């Protein structure tokens, strides 16, 4: 057992320091079809195979022409044909001429602008009247004006989002190299726990931590694997810890406090797991254990549901990100205006369940009604964890505070469009 109680900042430093030691080049990679790459973490650089746009592109339906052909309006010009999207026109536009053109088509030789169809009037099959002056380059995206061939457009370590899919498709990526999703074993411990499908006895409860941890692990892109619960005895704990150590990451919940039957740390040690720290000056979640055995990452998370949840957000998440080649230090911290007075006497850094709402004046945060770290129902109301730093005992309504986002922001704004 370790004796030191670390501040949250130094505990995170220990975790992040270990993350930095992960040899990036050795992270396992999967090659997946483009559709399967959505939400995975990119493991290759994506470079443009050609200029974008790859040809001078008409941005509107209208007529391609030389801007100089319209000296005064209306100007009557000769229409010599049309060009559709996807077609390479053989026509060359001379002064005084137009070619009818569709959005997305390649502007024919000779033309330097496209006048929108709305600004013209068709006189005959061969004659068009242009009703407004035309600027050179109007409604034309020149070849290479967005990006040049050879430019890097997506860098490794980025979680592939919806528009990244469009980039991958544009570049012609059929298969994408993405970092493998780490497998996370989840082990709940406690003699009082029964399975979700069981009817609990009078002093029993259903295991819920395995489910919140499952969701959190999946939310980070990992593959959760929920193990059979272990009772509060060394032999069961050690057996299940061995099973969990088959995966890259093992999360054990419960059994890390000061109780007579909190045997997880002892079981870790007997299983050859090295403990890096086992106490953090935070509320909830003080008895958080960070450990490892060889390349396997091991966490002992305090059993109370919100404690487990908070410890995951602060310490497990960066590891799962790093194991997928992402920068580990990114934290969804937001700044908001506090909407209530908060007293925090623990002398530890507090992470209190709270609700963030986006209002016309900015983000506003209010702690949820909550009966402590065992209160699942209050915690479920939260979309953020209000941060009260260790040295702060009270924060007043109207003050600016930090919060860790753990859900979707609630919105309370009338559209102004």
State which of positions 277-336 bind Mg ion (CB under 5 A): 303
Q: Shortest gap between Cβ of 325 and ligand AMP (angstroms)?
A: 31
Minimum gap (Å) between residue 314 Cβ and ligand AMP: 17
Quick check: 328 and 19 in contact, CB under 8 A? Answer: yes
Report the distance separating Cα 30 and Cα 23, nearest Å: 17
Least Å from the CB of residue 357 to ligand AMP:
29
Which of Mg ion, ligand AMP, none does 188 bind, CB closer than 5 to 8 A by kind?
ligand AMP
Question: Which helix (H) or strand (E) element contains residue 363?
Answer: strand 362-367
- Determine the Cα–Cα distance for residues 41 and 281; give it in Å rounded to an integer: 33
Pick from 129, 170, 208, 346 the residue near ligand AMP by CB under 6 A. 208
Question: Token match 């899919």: residue?
Answer: 165
Q: In angstroms, give the least distance from the CB of 264 to Mg ion.
A: 9
Of 53, 182, 190, 300, the one binding Mg ion (CB under 5 A) is 190
The span of 20-28, 50-58, 249-257, 329-337 binding Mg ion (CB under 5 A) equals 249-257
| Residue of 41, 14, 27, 25 lying closest to 295 (CA atoms) | 27
Tokens representing residue 15 in the block: 């975790």
- Is 347 an interacting residue with respect to ligand AMP (CB under 6 A)? no
Q: Where are the alpha helices (DSSP H) in 94-233?
A: 162-171, 209-219
Burial class of residue 243 (count of CB atoms within 10 Å of its CB; 0-12, 13-18, 19+): middle
The SS3 call for residue 316 is helix
Q: Judged by CB under 6 A, which of 62, 300, 303, 325 binds ligand AMP? A: 303
Q: Does residue number 254 form part of the binding site for Mg ion (CB under 5 A)?
A: yes
Closest residue by beta carbon to ligand AMP: 303
Q: Are strands 183-188 and 223-226 parallel, antiparallel or unpaired?
A: parallel
Closest to ligand AMP by CB, 306 vs 323, is 306
In order, the DSSP letters of 23-62 are -GGGS-EEEEEGGGGTTSBB-S-EE-SS-BSSS-EE-SSE
CA dist 132 and 97 (Å) reads 16
Which window, 21-29, 63-71, 254-262, 276-284, contacts Mg ion (CB under 5 A)?
254-262
Task: Indicate the SS3 state at residue 177.
Answer: strand
* Of 97, 253, 324, 383, the one binding ligand AMP by CB under 6 A: 253
DSSP result, 259-273: STT--HHHHHHHTTP
**Residue 305 interacts with ligand AMP (CB under 6 A): yes or no:** yes
| From ligand AMP, Mg ion, none, interface partner of 186 (C-beta below 5 to 8 A by class) | none
Cα–Cα dist 78/129, whole Å = 9
The CA distance from 94 to 109, in Å, is 9
Residue 18 Cβ, how far from ligand AMP at the closest point, in Å?
Answer: 24
Shorter beta-carbon distance to Mg ion: residue 138 or 262:
262
Nearer to Mg ion, 256 or 314 (CB): 256
Q: Count the site residues for ligand AMP by CB under 6 A.
A: 21
The rounded distance, in Å, linking the Cα atoms of 312 and 259 is 22
State which of positions 29-68 bind ligand AMP (CB under 6 A).
Answer: none
Nearer to ligand AMP, 52 or 209 (CB): 209
**Closer to ligand AMP at the Cβ: 59 or 194?**
194
Binding residue (CB under 6 A) for ligand AMP from 18, 170, 204, 257: 257
Looking at 146, 192, 236, 364, which residue binds ligand AMP (CB under 6 A)?
192
Question: Contact residues for Mg ion (CB under 5 A)?
Answer: 190, 254-255, 303
Question: Contact residues for ligand AMP (CB under 6 A)?
Answer: 188, 190, 192-193, 205, 207-210, 253-257, 259, 262, 302-305, 374
């Amino acid at each position: 057992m370790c004796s030191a109680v670390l501040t949250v900042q130094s505990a995170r430093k220990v975790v992040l320091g270990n993350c930095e030691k992960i040899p990036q080049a050795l992270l396992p990679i999967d090659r997946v079809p483009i559709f399967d790459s959505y939400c995975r973490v990119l493991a290759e650089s994506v470079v443009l195979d050609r200029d974008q746009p790859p040809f001078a592109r008409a941005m509107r339906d209208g007529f391609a022409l030389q801007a100089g052909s319209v000296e005064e309006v209306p100007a009557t010009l000769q229409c010599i044909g049309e060009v559709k999207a996807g077609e390479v026109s053989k026509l060359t536009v001379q002064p005084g001429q137009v070619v009818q053109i569709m959005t997305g088509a390649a502007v024919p030789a000779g033309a330097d602008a496209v006048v929108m169809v709305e600004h013209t009037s068709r006189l005959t099959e061969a004659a068009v009247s242009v009703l407004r002056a035309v600027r050179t380059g109007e409604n034309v995206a020149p070849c290479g004006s967005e990006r040049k061939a050879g430019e890097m457009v997506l860098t490794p370590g980025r979680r592939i989002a919806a528009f990244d899919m469009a980039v991958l498709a544009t570049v012609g990526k059929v298969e994408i190299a993405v970092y493998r999703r780490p497998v996370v074993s989840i082990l709940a411990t406690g003699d009082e726990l029964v399975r979700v499908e069981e009817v609990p006895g009078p002093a029993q409860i259903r295991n819920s931590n395995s489910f919140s941890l499952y969701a959190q692990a999946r939310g980070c892109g990992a593959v959760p694997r929920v193990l059979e619960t272990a009772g509060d005895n060394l032999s069961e704990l050690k057996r299940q810890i061995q099973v969990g150590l088959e995966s890259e990451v093992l999360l054990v919940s419960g059994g890390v406090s000061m109780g007579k039957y909190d045997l997880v740390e002892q079981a870790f040690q007997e299983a050859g797991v090295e403990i890096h720290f086992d106490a953090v000056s935070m509320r909830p979640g003080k008895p958080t254990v960070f450990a490892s055995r060889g390349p396997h990452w091991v966490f002992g998370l305090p059993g109370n549901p919100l404690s487990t949840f908070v410890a995951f957000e602060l310490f497990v998440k960066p590891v799962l990100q790093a194991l997928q080649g992402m920068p580990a230090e990114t934290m969804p911290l937001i700044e908001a205006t506090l909407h209530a007075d908060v007293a925090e006497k623990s002398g530890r850094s507090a992470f209190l369940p709270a609700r963030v709402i986006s209002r016309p004046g900015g983000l506003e945060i209010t702690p949820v009604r909550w009966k402590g770290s065992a209160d699942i129902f209050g915690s479920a109301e939260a979309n953020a964890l209000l941060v009260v730093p260790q040295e702060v005992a009270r924060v007043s309504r109207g003050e600016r505070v930090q919060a860790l986002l753990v859900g979707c922001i609630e919105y309370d704004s009338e559209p102004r469009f």
